[in-house]
Amino acid sequence: MKVLYITNKPIYPKIDGGCVAMDNFLNCLLNTKIIVKHICISTNKHPFKQNAYPAKQQLTIHNHFIDTDITSYRGFINLFKSGSYNVNRFHCKNLQATIKQEVEHSKYDCVILESLFTTTYIEAIRSKTSIPIFVRTHNLEHKIATDLAKNSTGIKKVYLSKLAKDLKTYEISALKKIDGILSISKADTEQIEALEINTPIKTIGVAIPIPDIQNNYDANGIFHLGAMNWQPNIEAVKRLVDIFPEIIKSTPRCKLHIAGSSDSDYIKPQTKKQIYFDGFVDNIQTYALKKGILVSPIISGSGIRIKILEMMAIGIPIITTKLGASGINYTDSNCLIIANKNTDIIAATLELIQNKDSRKKIGQNAIAYIRKNHNIEDISSEIIEFIKGT
């Protein structure tokens, strides 16, 4: 079997959950011994690094750079154009020509498009071949855009609302044009079906490896992990910084570490007491084990949080909101703590800071959950079974 796999990001940097999900999906494809041609779009935000990819004889890679940076001029011009600006940023005539040539001259069994943003090349593919086209969705993109608009004010709210409306129209149309959807979570599957999109769809989770490293649960600081150029993460960090003074009232020696960006200009200087911005972290597992407790008070977005799953795999005790735990069956597994109100987040954080046994119980349950629900063998088999059966 031979697959053309097209992504809107390379698999680097590892701090970005989307890149990690793509890396893990690519490994699932390679795990089934199929031949993969991977075309990835690199940007200023997401650079390409050849050495980040596995050295596999069955894998060939083609990188194409696109300047997707959002500018005031581009945003203004978008007001007078049809379609979705969010998606149009990833369209390039040169890449379109490359994709056309690839599907016309090479014999593929199917094309897998990663995320909504690569669906801009559906028509190019259809013009040269009739092979099935699948989309791997990480979330409902228009839902994220809608949440961001709701949390904004003034002219920004008006503009973001337009982007969200355009994106929703495009997303529904695009998902109706393809042959199958590989959804990342049950919640997303249900939301897609509610939009009366009749395309065959299957929920297939993310494969998360269990590392050999072990958490001894001695560390009891708190940290946040995630790309700080993504608005939902920025919102979560702002919220965490706002409630942190209440936490250190009861635990004066507690420290808050934030990884993902060194830019802390949006945090008021007077609120930075015992808050450390650590920037990009190369080894997030070692980093997390030294810090202790992941607190992620997510208030917007859609889809499953890959960083949370990765932290669960190494036994990190986690506190997040119901939205942050989307796609995780936390009710039956007791694998993380759900706290939606600030007072509940503070109480849960203090409990884990002060109680090593609680940290260990949550962390060990998290590892068991990942081992049961996110192992690569089962997920690899599900992917191929769906592709072959659709």
Average pLDDT score over residue span 282-300: 93
User: How high is the pLDDT of residue 389?
Assistant: 87
- Residue 75: pLDDT band (50, 70, 90) is confident
pLDDT digits (tens, 9 = 90+) for 8-47: 999 876 667 778 889 999 999 999 989 999 999 999 988 9
Instruction: State the virtual CA torsion across 202, 206, 207, 211 in degrees, nearest 10.
Output: -160
Percent of the chain clearing pLDDT 90 (strictly above): 66
Mean pLDDT of the chain: 90
Superfamily grouping for domain 221-373? Glycogen Phosphorylase B; (3.40.50.2000)
User: How high is the pLDDT of residue 266?
Assistant: 54
- Residue ranges of the domains in the chain? 2-207+376-389, 221-373
What global pTM score does this model have? 0.83
- Residue 281: pLDDT band (50, 70, 90) is confident
2-207+376-389 is classed in which CATH architecture? 3-Layer(aba) Sandwich (3.40)
Max mean pLDDT range (48-52, 61-65, 154-158): 61-65
Average pLDDT score over residue span 108-134: 97
- Asked whether residue 53 carries a pLDDT value surpassing 60, the answer given is yes
User: How high is the pLDDT of residue 125?
Assistant: 97
User: How high is the pLDDT of residue 273?
Assistant: 78
Which comes out higher in pLDDT, residue 136 or 228? 136
